[in-house]
Amino acid sequence: MDPIVATFLILAAAIIAFLSARVPLEVVAVGVALALWATGVLTLPQAFAGFGDPTVLFIASLFIVATALETSGVTRMVGAVILARAGTRRGRILIWVGGIVAILTALISINGAVAALIPVAAVIARRSGLSPSQLMLPMAFIASSASLLTLTGTPVNVVVSELAATEAGRPFGFFEFALVGLPLVAATIAIVVVLGPRLLPHHGPDPAPDRHTEREAETLSLVPEAVRTGAVRTQRRSRLHRGSRRTLAVTAVMVALLATGAIPPAVAGLLAAGSLIVLRVVKLPDLYHGVSWTTLVLIAGMIPLSVAFLETGAADVVADALLAVVGQADPHLALIVVCVVVVVLGQFISNVATVLIVAPVATSIALTHDVSPLPFLMALTVAGASSFLTPVATPVNLMVMAPGGYRFGDYWRLGLPLTVLFLLAAVFYVPLIWRF
């Protein structure tokens, strides 16, 4: 079979499996790798190279750091600051919650930050007399925008940075994402403060939070077990101070190494994870519970598909078809179409998988236009973060569904203006910073 045809058929089968929610994400990812080998598109080492990819190892190490921040009580201490200072006014509460969740997201990733603050947000809602539905979804949406603040905000950033290193000759810096992330965080907070009262429902939490559809269960599988079940608990108070200081010190060193680029990200992450284990901040049982194995397998299995798109020329075929529609005069037009595809797919399948699928096409378009791939890759990152329209778009959207008492149709009302904002930022603001 022609390698290009085989690559497209495997992609189509993967998308159908993702959308059906009947096939576990891990099975789809491993099936993609096996299919690429069985059809001769990639050799066996190429098909399974994703499982040893530095990107996967780095993301695994970040889960361990996030687990340490949780078990040492750092996230709970940060949440206590909100309880002490937020007061009872809705706008003030949202600004405080938004600021704290943004900081935590930048440090420990979006899933861990939201999971840590959901109980705190519930207490704040009760004490202030505010409906939980007015607080939970804004917190999740602010966290999505804050995932664009640092390299560690979300696995998508790590994947895109590695693609930039391969296709553009350099990765994105640790804080480089903040050039677009900071204004989007500020705008997101402003929108949820102003429009939230009118676009969000006013009711309490779901009294039966443990019933999930197949699609919801699939999305929650991207969240570490410790976050979903509360299996990781804060250490005893006598050990809290010492553990939290050690965790903060190790995290600060890791961030410094990542920010300076002194060593590769995977090495910095693994050194941090190893240090936390040696210092006994994280115990091995907690470590294994704190890693989202579904996320790691998903990325490892989809990386070879992205490679196949580039090596077989399938990305060029899609790029040529796209350019035949939008023309080659202005790369902004191609960027609009690519970002819309990412936004639409990202409402129903993992944004990591979406970016890995679309990124080769975007880089091919950039090369055809003889422009830098950097604005295309950063735009994909921004578009991938705009998963605001459905509860199954991201794990954090689903995590707040029961505590906030939301229904499926509650998301798009506030999510639509945010999606438009992110699309505009991806298409028009990003190229001002990362030039074509």
Structure confidence by residue, pLDDT tens digits, 360-398: 888 888 888 788 889 999 999 999 999 898 887 777 887
Chain segment 299-316, per-residue pLDDT in tens? 788 788 878 877 888 877
CA nearest neighbour of 355 among 142, 169, 206, 158: 158
Residue 87 has pLDDT above 90, yes or no: no
Residues 98 and 95: their CA atoms lie apart, in Å, by: 5
- Contact of 351 with 394, CB cutoff 8 Å: yes
Residues 308 and 395: their CA atoms lie apart, in Å, by: 28
pLDDT for 215: 62
**234 Rama class: left (phi>0) / alpha (psi -120 to 50) / beta:** beta
Residues 67 and 395: their CA atoms lie apart, in Å, by: 17
> Which of the given ranges, 4-18, 325-339, 396-410, 422-436, has the highest pLDDT on average?
422-436
CA dihedral 12, 13, 18, 24 (to 10 degrees): -160
Residue 236 has pLDDT above 60, yes or no: no
Given pLDDT bands bounded at 50, 70 and 90, which one contains residue 234? very low
Radius of gyration of the chain (CA): 21
Q: Write out the two tokens for 343.
A: 């936004």
pLDDT for 79: 61
Sign of CA dihedral 62, 67, 69, 75: positive
The residue-averaged pLDDT of 95-100 equals 88
Mean pLDDT, the chain, rounded, equals 82
- Contact of 344 with 19, CB cutoff 8 Å: no
- Which range is least confidently modeled, 107-116, 245-254, 279-288? 107-116
Residues 282 and 163: their CA atoms lie apart, in Å, by: 31
Q: Which domain holds residue 294?
A: 3-433
Residue 223 has pLDDT above 70, yes or no: no
Token match 């999510």: residue? Answer: 415
Q: Which amino acid is at 166?
A: T
- Which range is least confidently modeled, 150-159, 228-237, 388-397? 228-237
The residue-averaged pLDDT of 177-191 equals 95
pLDDT for 337: 86
Residue 78 has pLDDT above 70, yes or no: no
pLDDT for 220: 64
Residue 342 has pLDDT above 90, yes or no: no
pLDDT for 433: 93
Total structural domains within the chain: 1
Other C-beta atoms lying within 10 Å of the C-beta of residue 139: 26
Q: What pTM does this model have?
A: 0.75
Q: Which amino acid is at 180?
A: V
Residue 73 has pLDDT above 80, yes or no: no
Given pLDDT bands bounded at 50, 70 and 90, which one contains residue 238? very low
Residues 15 and 27: their CA atoms lie apart, in Å, by: 13
Given pLDDT bands bounded at 50, 70 and 90, which one contains residue 404? confident
Given pLDDT bands bounded at 50, 70 and 90, which one contains residue 91? confident
Residue 257 has pLDDT above 60, yes or no: yes
Residue 430 has pLDDT above 90, yes or no: yes
The residue-averaged pLDDT of 45-68 equals 84
Residues 178 and 368: their CA atoms lie apart, in Å, by: 28
pLDDT for 207: 53
In percent, how much of the chain has pLDDT > 70?
A: 88
pLDDT for 306: 77
